[in-house]
Structure 1
Amino acid sequence: IKPNDKTKYLFSELDDEKHKKAFKRAYTFDIRTRACDTARIMLPAATLTNVAMVANGRVFEHLLKRMYSSRHPEFKDIANRLHDTLNKVIPKYVKRANPEGEEFWQKTDEAIRENLQKYLPSCASWGGDTEAVKLHNVPRLLDNNRRSVYHLLAAVYFPYARVDYESLVQSFASLPYEQVLSMLSDAVGARSVRRDRSPRGFEHGYDITVEIVADFGVFRDLHRHRMCTLQWQRPNPHLGFEVPADIEKIGMKEACLAVEKEVRELYDDLEKELGDQFAEYVTLFGHKIRFMIGMNLREAQHMLELRSVAQGHPNYRHIAQRIHNLIIEKAPWLAKTDLFKFVDHNEYDWARADAEARQSQKALEKGLEI
């Protein structure tokens, strides 16, 4: 903590008041951060958060259309308030956003849901593989074979299903091919203008396509990435709940599991009465969620090196490390380059302490008050 000194000191070895103050600041921040990282598993998915956006008129128009078309009443409420605000600044850019929603998106969404229930009812119940990370072999989607169609449909229907991607592929392969093509047509939708965009699943086809089952907190961290296609299934309590070792050490594991059990029962009751789109709000950050990420090598480099840094949350660090290992297993020639040079596979106990100490050290070197 001493300026221009890389030696590590115990608090009892410090005599300068500025150095002691810097030590206490780093220590307090590190403890608070680790405590929050550990305790966040008990936060409800409905926990409010701040969202800031910088966008142009075209993006805001698209956002309003999406929110107005949602089945969630609160989305429509936020869209109304956002629309009122934007009308004061850029009214011409958002005039085409219809408060009744976009009929094309609503009908396409409903058709996919109905098809899943009608033709693949087994995929509408929670189940399937819950392996933490899987790297899928995705065929070339422009190849003229049925396997490509099955994989594309699995990607499109994935957010609506409750099983893993491979189970969806196998389920589509079990249907008559004419039925499969009909379900594909329904997913594309009855487009009447070029602005009628098909679902995000049609971005499918990346060489790096991973399926992840991790807690909601990890998903919230990873879904910030933009140079990729990320799709997820609804938050739910039926894919598992993992209690961190720190909570077990202080003897609160059973208390956490008791709360989780009550939440699971509440979710089931709400789902029966109101549907899963409302029940998902009571799930906890510690409940696991299934999601898929498709990306190219450049985005993989950025994501895996960023999410494996020493100061990162251990849960997403392990996900990043596993994805890196799977990529290298599939393409070992990449290991002969520096493409993933800074993916960190080391394990740390108090990684943020060093980072905080360096911040305090820099401040002291510049003569700044801490």
Structure 2
Amino acid sequence: MSERPTPRPVPQHPENTTEVYAIHGAEPEVLAYAMAKYSRSALTLRESLAEISSQRAEQFLNTFYFQYGHRSIADLAHIPFAVEKLSLLAAICLVDETRWDGQERSTRYQDFRRSGWFTPELATKQRKLYTHAIEDLFKAYDSLSAGMLSALKRAIPQPESMKADSYERTLKARAFDAARYLLPLATNTSLGQIVNARTLETQVSRLLSSPFAEIRDLGTKLRNAASEPAWNAQRDKLEQLAGEGSVAADATTEILNELMPPVRTAPTLVKYAEKNDYQCKSRVELAQAARELMKDAPIYPAPIVDLLDDDEDLEVEIATSLVYPHCHYSYRQLRGAVASLTETRRNELLKLGAVHRGRHDELVRAFNAGHGFRFDILMDIGGFRDMHRHRRCVQLLQEFSDVHGYDEPVCPGQPTLAEAGLGEQYRDAMNAALAAYRTVCDSGEPEAKQSAQYLLPLGMRCRSLFKMDFAEALYIAELRSGIAGHFSYRRVAWEMYQAIATRHPALAGLFRIEDVNVPMDLLKR
């Protein structure tokens, strides 16, 4: 009779053993490696971090991220950056990422007179013209801010229940809302961003591929910032204490070297971020395709917000989207030209958007198609900057130019420029800036077309295409129509709502919308 096998002990599983803890102090690349090990090891994160060195993390990332293409690993490394004294134009390009988190200086709550501005490489004659035009815009911005504040104070007395500083601050913000139309794209701003390393890599590559020298330089600086030792606030404070004699110098050195070694946030994950040939070559060829398609046809008038048809063939939408960022025509006018092409010619256009795609390149953004709601929007650049912050949608932006003219700040319930005695001054400032823009644009300077764009004020109109689902359309319309918002994008949000309500009446009642045509209490924020 054979022996019966000894039964294996049944593992005991204590109940309610879930553990949650926050993590602080690990280098971003090391932390990404430690989290990636969850799929390859039974170790806890504490155990993983205890045994991982930065060298092992680099070796792991070189193998799995670059060789095997496991790009999601880079999503686990989040890095904060400060980007200071860059132009508004460069800031728009920098933040043009669908996976981006950050904050920029506000034109509503800060006076931009002291910001300074960016000057591109120009010959002496054009540089003088450029500098004079920028200085004139800032003078006009200063004058309009003061003039509108005075007009607001005359129109809106201070309530007895409102403190004087709160009253002054609120009306100043309203005055800046109007004055910002005169800020040129050259104006310096600052922003902070916290991005994962995958977004950082694509961001750096995109910036290095820009036709603007400032933006290419920004890409290099961003890559260097991720590769060099990061600024450590605690180390900085300790060095300050040592300098004041509060801590012994030898103790300071030991603590810094042992407990606060220099940290390079993402040297491995950005080391291959270079100029993207796919984007550069596609941009040139698609711009040429747009010129051949439209043959200098006049630009037809279009509404501020155009909700496009939702029964369009996918091939037509993608082909139209491919050429949209490379011209100044409305989507509807472009689509008419694309739809009239033969199937063979349209297919050639589709292939043009992908022919230069490399092994690890994502398709250019125009291929993000098939969304239920597509809005072709024509609005001032300042208002677009606020709309640009909405990430849960696809955005295609056309180049800034003088093609669409400029807006004047008009807010229901607020004194108009004419009522404030500022209308002629505003138009003179805008027209002078446009004259300087055209002179620089036609100067024959290297990158003249790019350099001239810095002279365009935020009041100039630009065209952009927003693709989204219904939930995002409702979110944007509700948020941006609120009375605390800027009157420019409030109008756009209202038009988005109106377009959806007309086409889908059953959905209109779901919106909690503010009617932007009703004069509001300008002291409410």
TM-score (norm 1): 0.82
Indicate yes or no: 2:167 matched with 1:27. Answer: yes
Cα deviation digits, residues 192-223 of structure 1 (max 9, x gap): 31x22221111122211111111111101101
Residue of structure 2 aligned with 1:205, choices 358, 367, 370? 370
Match of 2:311 in 1: 139
Post-superposition shift, 1:96?
Answer: 1.1
Post-superposition shift, 1:27?
Answer: 0.8
Q: Take 1:239 and 1:323, find their aligned partners in 2: how far apart are those partners?
A: 20
Match of 2:333 in 1: 167
Match of 1:310 in 2: 483
Q: Take 2:385 and 2:200, find their aligned partners in 1: how far apart are those partners?
A: 22
Post-superposition shift, 1:283?
Answer: 1.0
Q: Take 2:451 and 2:310, find their aligned partners in 1: how far apart are those partners?
A: 33
Match of 1:300 in 2: 473
Q: Take 1:354 and 1:83, find their aligned partners in 2: how far apart are those partners?
A: 43
Residue pairs, 1:98-137, within 5 angstroms:
98=274, 101-122=275-296, 127-137=299-309
Match of 1:238 in 2: 403
Q: Kindly provide the amino acid, as one letter, of the partner of residue 355 in structure 2.
A: G
Match of 1:84 in 2: 224
Structure 1 unaligned blocks of 5 or more = 1-9, 141-146, 356-370
Residues 112 and 186, structure 1, Cα contact 8 Å, conserved in 2: yes
Residue pairs, 1:1-370, within 5 angstroms:
14=160, 23-88=163-228, 89=264, 90-98=266-274, 101-122=275-296, 127-139=299-311, 147-193=313-359, 195-245=360-410, 246-272=416-442, 273=444, 274-336=447-509, 339-340=510-511, 342-345=512-515, 347=517, 349=519, 351-355=521-525
Where relative contact order (Cα < 8 A, 6+ residues apart) is larger, the structure is 1
Q: Kindly provide the amino acid, as one letter, of the partner of residue 272 in structure 2.
A: R
Q: Take 1:153 and 1:114, find their aligned partners in 2: how far apart are those partners?
A: 14
Post-superposition shift, 1:309?
Answer: 0.7
Match of 1:144 in 2: none
Post-superposition shift, 1:346?
Answer: 5.1
Residues 392 and 468, structure 2, Cα contact 8 Å, conserved in 1: yes
Q: Kindly provide the amino acid, as one letter, of the partner of residue 55 in structure 1.
A: V
Residues 293 and 337, structure 2, Cα contact 8 Å, conserved in 1: no
Structure 2 unaligned blocks of 5 or more = 1-156, 229-263, 411-415
Higher mean C-alpha displacement, 252-261 vs 267-276: 267-276
Residues 138 and 151, structure 1, Cα contact 8 Å, conserved in 2: no
Post-superposition shift, 1:352?
Answer: 4.6
Q: Take 1:349 and 1:24, find their aligned partners in 2: how far apart are those partners?
A: 23
Q: CA 1:244–1:59 in 2, change beyond 3 Å: closer, same or farther?
A: closer
RMSD: 2.0
Q: Take 2:458 and 2:358, find their aligned partners in 1: how far apart are those partners?
A: 40
The structure richer in helix per residue is 1
Residues 158 and 167, structure 2, Cα contact 8 Å, conserved in 1: no
Cα deviation digits, residues 233-268 of structure 1 (max 9, x gap): 111222122223522212221122122222222222
Residues 69 and 106, structure 1, Cα contact 8 Å, conserved in 2: yes
Q: Take 1:351 and 1:300, find their aligned partners in 2: how far apart are those partners?
A: 26
Post-superposition shift, 1:226?
Answer: 0.4
Match of 2:92 in 1: none
Q: Take 1:232 and 1:223, find their aligned partners in 2: how far apart are those partners?
A: 10
Residues 208 and 296, structure 1, Cα contact 8 Å, conserved in 2: yes
Match of 2:14 in 1: none
Q: CA 1:257–1:136 in 2, change beyond 3 Å: closer, same or farther?
A: same
When the two structures are aligned, how many residues end up with a matched partner?
A: 325
Residues 310 and 348, structure 1, Cα contact 8 Å, conserved in 2: no
Residues 372 and 469, structure 2, Cα contact 8 Å, conserved in 1: yes
Q: CA 1:68–1:317 in 2, change beyond 3 Å: closer, same or farther?
A: same
Identical columns (%)? 24
Residues 137 and 207, structure 1, Cα contact 8 Å, conserved in 2: no
Match of 2:260 in 1: none
Q: Take 1:316 and 1:197, find their aligned partners in 2: how far apart are those partners?
A: 31
Post-superposition shift, 1:114?
Answer: 2.1
Q: Kindly provide the amino acid, as one letter, of the partner of residue 39 in structure 1.
A: A
Q: CA 1:275–1:178 in 2, change beyond 3 Å: closer, same or farther?
A: farther
Q: CA 1:349–1:23 in 2, change beyond 3 Å: closer, same or farther?
A: farther
Post-superposition shift, 1:162?
Answer: 1.2
Post-superposition shift, 1:86?
Answer: 0.4
Q: Take 1:232 and 1:34, find their aligned partners in 2: how far apart are those partners?
A: 28
Q: CA 1:282–1:11 in 2, change beyond 3 Å: closer, same or farther?
A: closer
Match of 1:3 in 2: none
Q: Take 1:192 and 1:220, find their aligned partners in 2: how far apart are those partners?
A: 31
Post-superposition shift, 1:348?
Answer: 5.3
Residues 232 and 292, structure 1, Cα contact 8 Å, conserved in 2: yes
Post-superposition shift, 1:54?
Answer: 0.3
Post-superposition shift, 1:135?
Answer: 0.5
Structure number with bigger Rg:
2
Q: Take 2:407 and 2:388, find their aligned partners in 1: how far apart are those partners?
A: 20
Match of 2:257 in 1: none
Q: Kindly provide the amino acid, as one letter, of the partner of residue 238 in structure 1.
A: V
Q: Take 1:11 and 1:344, find their aligned partners in 2: how far apart are those partners?
A: 25
Match of 2:133 in 1: none
Q: Take 1:326 and 1:276, find their aligned partners in 2: how far apart are those partners?
A: 35
Q: Take 2:439 and 2:356, find their aligned partners in 1: how far apart are those partners?
A: 36
